[in-house]
């Protein structure tokens, strides 16, 4: 075991990359190390033996930095961990992480140890990440809005001709019921017209999706109510709700819509040899809410995964390909994200992430938070 001699301790303090400041019982700076002087841009002799308030509060700068020390000293906040900005005498700005701990002697505080870590580069990376996220979100919003307007225009222009074609085909079928060859061709026209009308209806439904008003909801009540409604319509599936607790500020109608679309998607791709099981779970992390729906169906082709949220993408001959596109739009309006993946052993998993919002947002629409990409 190495002896705890002064030279050994001095070597550690001098070499350690973390800044160190020790305050004595009177609030004077009893000890610092070279790393701290480098971070603060203040020479060791300008720190040693002086009161911390005399050093840092004389110029009236760095209010957040000073407030941390005030909180630690006067409120005896041990193990306080905080990140604060600091501007050194040369005008350079840094982001410092501060951690406090106490030196106690016979139930009294003999000194306070403050450890500092230079987090400037990490903060810069986080800022860049936030800017990239905001730009990505802006581009996605522009793309989704352009798609919505296009869908609205296409649906309007196609609906009337499709209705006329279908009506004329039906009339000709009735007039030429005794001509089988012609009847078969007219049946194809009518069937394809009906498929086109179904596509127009789906596109119109997508174009009509809007945010509405945010509400503070209980996830347990919202999801249990949705599950009860779906099971009342059809009892061929088993819906399991797991850990669906906590509060959230969301657009409730959009949440129900995306759940409906995901549930219908699971039913369309269910195995024919086993009962469909759908599991829904909710978890919370750093203010974000993670809503997951998983099924035990056939899953998605590996080549299809990157495109499942794209409009009109479908692997079914009778599909339109707008269901998962609606899910993505619902999440975009929340300022969140939607992702899809296959489950090992069979099935698909859809992960929706809702960003943090304060309860005060429930009275109206607010822009998505700028917390960065999580």
pLDDT in tens, 259-288: 999 999 998 888 777 788 999 999 998 889
**Confidence (pLDDT) at 371:** 37
- Answer positive or negative: Cα dihedral of 2, 7, 11, 14: positive
pTM for the whole thing? 0.56
pLDDT digits (tens, 9 = 90+) for 19-72: 999 998 888 999 999 999 999 999 999 998 899 888 888 777 889 999 999 888
**How many angstroms separate the CA atoms of 6 and 21, rounded?**
18
Residues facing 339 on adjacent strands: 351
> Are the C-beta atoms of residues 267 and 276 closer than 8 Å to each other?
yes
Q: How many CB atoms lie within 10 A of CB 9?
A: 10
* Residue from 288, 274, 299 nearest 350 by CA: 299
CA distance 354 to 332: 10
Query: What's the 3-state SS for 45-64?
Result: HHHCCCEHHHHHCCCCCCHH
Produce one character per residue of 312-351: b if its CB has 16 or more CB atoms within 10 Å, e if not. ebbeeeebbbbbbbbbbbbbbbbbbbbebebeeeebbbbe
pLDDT in tens, the chain (374 residues): 445 567 777 788 788 899 999 998 888 999 999 999 999 999 999 998 899 888 888 777 889 999 999 888 888 888 889 999 999 888 899 999 999 998 888 777 788 999 999 999 998 998 898 888 888 878 877 877 777 777 777 776 677 777 778 788 888 888 877 788 887 888 888 888 887 877 778 778 888 888 888 999 999 999 999 999 988 876 667 899 988 889 999 999 999 999 999 999 998 888 777 788 999 999 998 889 999 999 998 888 888 888 899 888 887 766 778 889 999 999 989 989 999 999 988 899 999 999 987 544 444 444 444 333 32
Encode burial over 59-81: b for 16+ CB neighbours within 10 A, e otherwise. eeebeebbebbeebbeeebeebe
Q: How far apart are CA 189 and CA 175, in angstroms?
A: 15
80: Cα within 13 Å, side-chain hemisphere:
23
Distance CA 14, CA 194 (A): 80
Name the DSSP class of 363. G
Contact 97, 39 (CB under 8 A): no
């Amino acid at each position: 075991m190495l002896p705890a001699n002064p030279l050994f301790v001095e070597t550690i303090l001098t070499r350690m990359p973390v800044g160190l400041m020790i305050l004595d019982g009177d609030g004077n700076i009893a000890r610092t190390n070279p790393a701290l002087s480098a971070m603060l841009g203040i020479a060791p002799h300008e720190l040693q033996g002086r009161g911390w308030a005399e050093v840092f509060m004389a110029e009236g700068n760095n209010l957040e930095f000073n407030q941390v020390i005030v909180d630690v000293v006067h409120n005896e906040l041990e193990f306080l961990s905080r990140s604060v900005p600091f501007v050194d005498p040369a005008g350079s700005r840094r982001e410092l992480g501060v951690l406090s701990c106490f030196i106690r002697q016979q139930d009294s505080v003999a000194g306070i140890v403050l450890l500092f870590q230079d987090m400037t580069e990490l903060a810069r990376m986080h800022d860049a990440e936030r800017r990239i996220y905001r730009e990505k979100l802006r581009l996605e919003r522009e793309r989704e809005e352009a798609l919505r307007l296009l869908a609205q225009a296409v649906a309007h222009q196609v609906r009337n001709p499709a209705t006329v074609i279908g009506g004329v085909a039906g009339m000709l079928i009735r007039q030429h019921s005794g001509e089988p060859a012609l009847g078969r061709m007219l049946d194809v026209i009518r069937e394809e017209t009906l498929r086109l009308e179904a596509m127009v209806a789906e596109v119109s439904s997508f174009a009509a999706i809007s945010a509405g008003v945010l509400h503070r909801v209980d996830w347990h009540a919202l999801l249990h109510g949705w599950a009860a409604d779906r099971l009342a319509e059809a009892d061929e599936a088993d819906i399991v709700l797991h850990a669906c607790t906590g509060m959230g500020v969301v657009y409730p109608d959009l949440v129900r819509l995306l759940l409906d679309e995901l549930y219908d998607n699971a039913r369309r791709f269910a195995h024919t040899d086993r009962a469909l099981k759908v599991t829904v779970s909710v978890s919370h992390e750093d203010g974000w809410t993670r809503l997951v729906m998983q099924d035990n169906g056939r899953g998605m082709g590996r080549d299809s995964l990157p495109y499942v949220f794209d409009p009109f993408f479908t692997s079914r001959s009778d599909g339109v390909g707008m269901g998962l596109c609606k899910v993505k739009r619902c999440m975009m309006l929340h300022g969140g994200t939607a992702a899809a993946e296959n489950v090992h052993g069979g099935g698909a998993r859809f992960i929706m992430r809702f960003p943090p919002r304060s309860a005060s947002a429930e009275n109206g629409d607010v822009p998505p938070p700028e917390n960065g990409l999580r």
